[in-house]
Amino acid sequence: MSRSIALLLVLAVAACGGDGDGENTGGIGRVDSTSLVTIVTADQPSVLDPHSTSNGGDVKVIHQIYETLIRVDPSDVNRMVPALATQWTVADDGLSIQFQLREGVTFHDGAAFDAAAAKLSLDRLREDGFELSRAPYKPEFGDVAGFDADGHTLTMRLSSPVARVALRNLTMFCASIVSPTVLEASKSMDPDAATAFVTDNAAGTGGYRVDAFDQKAKIARLVANDDYWNGKPSIGTLIFTPVSDESTRTEYLGNPNGHFLVDDVPRQHWATVESSERMQLHSWWALNLCYLGMNAKHEATKELGVRRAIQLAVDREAVMAHYEGTARPTYSLVAQPMAEYDRGLRVPDWDDDHAKRLATATKLIDEAGAKGREITIYYPQMPRPYLPRPQNIADTVRQSLKAIGLDARIQGEENSVLFSQVSTGQYELILIGWMTDNGDPDNFYSPLADGADGKPAENNTSRTFHADVHAKLLAARQLSSAGERVTAYRDVERALQTDVAGYTPLVNTKQAVAYSKGIKGFVIDGIGHYRFDEATLE
Amino acid sequence: MSRFTDWLWRFLRYHRPALVGTVLVMAVVLTAVVGPVVLSYEPDDVFSRFAETGSKHLLGTDSQGYDLLTRMVYGARTTLAIALVSMSMSLCLGSLIGAVSGFAGGKTDLLLMRGVDIAMSFPGFLLAMVAVAILGPKLENVIVAVGLVGAPMFARQVRAEVLRVGSAEYVTAARSQGFGPSRTLFLHVMPNSLSPIIVLGTLGMGSAILDVAGLAFLGLGGDPYRIPEWGLILTQGWDQRPDANLQVAVAGLAIFVTVLGFNLLGDGLKDELDPRTRRR
C-alpha cells in the first residue's frame, strides 16, 4: 500500500514540477523537474546516520550527503583515491597512518571541516566516547587504537600493522564524516534519540544536502550543495524513492517523464534495457559471491568427508543457468574481480569433469556411511542480488546432492530468519552470499570463515573456529605487497577448503543499474556505490 | 450391487452434465493411478532445461530439467490426495460439530453455531492464507489450513440435516427404547443425513483443489520440486515465462478440468439426491 502511495507521490512531484502550487505532495513539496533525477531503489531509506546503519537503502542516500576521507577508485576497485583527505602516508612500522585533509571544506550546517571533525566521526562509529544503539561496523575497526587531530592533519594509530585493511575500511560509508556540531549536540541524548537527531539534522560535506525526508513514505529529497568544495553539482535535485516490488520497479524503465535511475533491475529485464532508447544499463562484475555454507557442527554434515563430497558434487554450470548469463563459476571465498582472487587455485579433484567428481563424491559419501542421509538445504525466500531465483538454484544444488546418494530436500525461510539462522547454527546446508563493503579480502575471510576467542564469527557458516586459519588470516592482514597477499590468501583458502570445508563457492555475479540516457558522467565504483556530484543532464 | 448400478445408470442417463463430470473425474483418477506405471521417467529425473516437446519429452522439460508430463501425472496423484485429505478433514470435523450442535441443541448449539458464523464471515481463502502464513509455508500446513477452512460449510449442512431427521418417528422410537444420545446420533440420525454430505464432499473436492493451487500460486505451497503438485507446477511456470508458457497452460488446464469435473458431478448428485428435484 505504502508503495503505491509512494509511487503516486513521485509521479505527482514529477508531473507538477515546474508549474502551479504543488502543495499536495506530502512532506516533499515542489521541485524543478528540469533538473531532477528520481532514484528508484529496492530498499527503503530510514536512518541517515552513517555510523549506525547497515541498510542498503540508507547507504545510497548517505553516499550523496556525506563523504569519507578516501574512496575506492571508480575505474579500479583495487585502488584508493583522495576524497576529504588529499594524501596519506603509512608509517614505516605500519602502526600509524597520517592523513592530510582538504582545506576550505564546510559542512551543510556551516561547520568547518578539520581533523578534529574527522576524529569525532571516526570515534563515534567505534563507540569511543559515544554510545550507539547499533554500531554494525565497529568490529572492522577493532585494530584502531585511536586518532590524533592537529589542524588539518589526522593520524590514525593502529594496534597491529594492518594499514591496508584500515585504509580499506575508511572507504566504507560507515566512515563518513558528519558535522561536529550535530554530533556534539547528539552526545547527551540516548542512543535511539541521537540517531534520530543525526537523521533529522543530516549534515555532511557531500555534493547534496537533505531538503526533505518523508519518514513515513521513506522518500528523501536532496538538493545540490551550493558550497560543495568540488563545485556545485549540475543536477539540482535528487529524489530517492523506495519501490520494493520488482515488477512495479521495472515499470519505471519505460517511464517517459523525467530522468530515472533504477536500482536492482531483475536480470530478465537487462536485455530489454540494453536495447531501450531511453534507458541504458551499467553492469559490472560485482564484489560478491554466492556460496553453499556447510555446518561442521550439524549432525548431518559433521564428517569432513561428507562436506568434501558436497563440494565436489555441486554443478556450477547448472547453477549458472539460472542467472541469464550474468554469472561465472567461482572457486574461492574472495570475490573474483579482486586482485587477491587466485585463478590458479583448485582444491584436489576439482579439475575433474563433473561425472568423475560425482564418482569421487559418491565414494566419499559411502565411506562416511552417509548414503541415503536426509539433508536439508535452506535458502532465502526473497531474491538477493547474488541469488536471483533462490528456490530454483536451491533445487539445482539439491539435484547434485541426490546424484551422490544423499536424500536432499530444500526449505525456504524468510530472509531475516535465514540470516539470523547462521549465527545459531540451525542448518546443515545454507544457500547464501556475501557482498563486500570495502573490497578487501579480509572483509570476506574475517566475517565468513574466522572468529575470535575460540568462537566462530556470526556469519561463519562452518560454525567452527580454527586456530591455524585464524593465525594465517592475522598474518595476511598485515601484508601490503600485492604478490605476498595473493600467496597468503591462497594458503588460507586451501586450508579452509580442504581442512575445514565449511563452504562451497558457487558463482560470482554481475550487478546492474539502469538509468536514463540523459544522465551523463555520474560516478559508480566497483562496489556499486554511485554519486551524482559530477553528473549532468542532457 | 445391481441396485447401485441401476441407480448409477439412470443417474448418468438423465444428468448429462454429471456424465461429463464423471468422465473428467474418472480420467484424472485413472491418470493418477495408472499413469506412473506407464511412464518411463521418475518425477525427479533430470534432463536438459527447457527441452523442446518431442518424442522424448511429450510436453518438454521445465526450468529445472524435469520432464513436465511425468510431473503432471505424479502431480495428479498428489493433487487428488491433498484435496481428498483436506476435504475429508473438513468433512469429519464439520460433521462432528454439526451433528453435536444439532443433536444437543440449547447452549451447545448456540455456542458452536456462533463459532461457525464467525468462521464463515471471513472469505475462506483469506483465512487459509492467514493460517498458512502462521504455520509456515509447507504442504502439510496447506492441507490443514484448507481442511479447517472447509469445515464450517459441513457443520451448517449436517446440523440442518440432524435437526430434520432428529424429529423423525424412528428417532423418537429409538429414544423411547432407551438408547443413549451417542447411539441414537451415530446409528439412527447420521446414516439418514448422509446424502447432502456426499454432495458437499464432491463439491468440496473441487474447491480444495482450487484453494491448494491458489495458496501454492501465492508462494505458500512449500517445496515445489520434491512433491510435484499442480498449483506449484503452475507457479513455477509463471515465474519462468515466456520459456515455460506450455507449462502454465498445461497445469492451468489440468486444474480447470478437474475442478470442473468435480463440480459437475457434485451438481448432478445434488439434483439426484434431493427428493424435490429427483427425477422418477
Residue A434: strand pairing partners: A289
Q: Which residues of B touch A412 (CB under 8 A)?
A: 137, 223
Which domains, and CATH codes, for chain A?
3-57+206-278+517-537 (3.40.190.10), 70-180 (3.40.190.10), 288-510 (3.10.105.10)
Closest CA to A383 of A415, A430, A416: A415
Per-residue pLDDT tens over the stretch B119-161 = 889 888 898 999 888 888 778 888 899 999 999 999 999 899 8
The reply to whether A164 touches chain B by the CB within 8 Å rule is no
3-state secondary structure B243-270: CCHHHHHHHHHHHHHHHHHHHHHHHHHH
A399–B44 C-beta distance less than 8 A: yes
Which chain A residue has its CA at the smallest distance from B137's CA? Answer: A412
The alpha carbon of A230 is separated from its chain's Cα centroid by a whole number of angstroms, namely 26
- pLDDT of the residue at A307: 95
Which chain B residue has its CA at the smallest distance from A382's CA? Answer: B219
> pLDDT-derived band of residue B279, with 50, 70 and 90 as boundaries?
low
Residue A52 per-residue DSSP state: G
Check whether B25 has a pLDDT greater than 50.
yes
* Cell numbers at A387, concatenated: 541469488
Query: What percent of chain B has a predicted confidence (pLDDT) above 70?
Result: 96
Q: Which residues of B touch A269 (CB under 8 A)?
A: none
Listed as ranges, residues in chain A with pLDDT below 70 are 1-33
- pLDDT of the residue at B181: 81
Count CB-CB contacts under 10 A for residue A55.
15
Q: Which residues of B touch A391 (CB under 8 A)?
A: 224
Nearest Cβ partner of A396 from B44, B64, B236?
A: B64
Q: Which residues of A touch B236 (CB under 8 A)?
A: 392
Q: How close is the nearest chain B Cα to the Cα of A409, in Å? A: 7
Q: How close is the nearest chain B Cα to the Cα of A322, in Å? A: 8
A381–B223 C-beta distance less than 8 A: no
Q: Using beta carbons and an 8 Å cutoff, which residues of B are at the interface with A?
A: 44, 46, 49, 63-65, 137, 219, 223-226, 236, 239
B137–A392 C-beta distance less than 8 A: no
- pLDDT of the residue at B61: 86
- pLDDT of the residue at A169: 93
> pLDDT-derived band of residue B277, with 50, 70 and 90 as boundaries?
low
The reply to whether A399 touches chain B by the CB within 8 Å rule is yes
> Is residue B58 within 8 Å of B69, Cβ to Cβ?
yes
- pLDDT of the residue at B112: 92
A395–B225 C-beta distance less than 8 A: yes
Q: Which residues of B touch A399 (CB under 8 A)?
A: 44, 46, 64-65
A402–B64 C-beta distance less than 8 A: no
Check whether B234 has a pLDDT greater than 60.
yes
Instruction: State the Cα–Cα distance between residues B15 and B27, nearest whole angstrom.
Output: 18
Instruction: Please tell me whether the peptide bond between B137 and the residue prior to it is cis, using omega within 30 degrees of 0.
Output: no
A412–B137 C-beta distance less than 8 A: yes
Residue corresponding to grid cell 498449483: B231
The reply to whether A402 touches chain B by the CB within 8 Å rule is yes
* Cell numbers at A371, concatenated: 548414503
Q: Once rounded to an integer, what is the mean pLDDT over residues B35-57?
A: 84
> Is residue A187 within 8 Å of A38, Cβ to Cβ?
no
- pLDDT of the residue at A381: 85
A402–B44 C-beta distance less than 8 A: yes
Instruction: State the Cα–Cα distance between residues B142 and B156, nearest whole angstrom.
Output: 23
CA–CA–CA angle A46, A51, A56 (5° rounding): 45
Dihedral sign (CA A212, A213, A219, A224): positive
Q: Burial code of B96-114, b = ≥16 C-beta within 10 A, e = fewer?
A: ebbbbbbbeeeeebeebbe
Which chain A residue has its CA at the smallest distance from B48's CA? Answer: A318
Which chain B residue has its CA at the smallest distance from A379's CA? Answer: B223
Q: Which residues of A touch B137 (CB under 8 A)?
A: 412
> Is residue A77 within 8 Å of A337, Cβ to Cβ?
yes
ipTM over 0.85: no
Closest CA to A298 of A461, A412, A496, A493: A461
Check whether B93 has a pLDDT greater than 90.
yes
The alpha carbon of A60 is separated from its chain's Cα centroid by a whole number of angstroms, namely 11
Dihedral, CA atoms, B230, B233, B239, B242, nearest 10 degrees?
-100
> pLDDT-derived band of residue B222, with 50, 70 and 90 as boundaries?
low
Q: How close is the nearest chain B Cα to the Cα of A380, in Å? A: 13
Q: Once rounded to an integer, what is the mean pLDDT over residues B60-69?
A: 87
Residue of B2 and A259 predicted with greater confidence: A259
Nearest Cβ partner of B63 from A392, A399, A411?
A: A392
Nearest Cβ partner of A411 from B65, B223, B224?
A: B223
- pLDDT of the residue at A333: 93
Q: Which residues of A touch B49 (CB under 8 A)?
A: 321
The reply to whether A269 touches chain B by the CB within 8 Å rule is no
Check whether B280 has a pLDDT greater than 60.
no
- pLDDT of the residue at B276: 67
- pLDDT of the residue at A5: 43
Q: How close is the nearest chain B Cα to the Cα of A218, in Å? A: 27
Nearest Cβ partner of A321 from B49, B219, B239?
A: B49
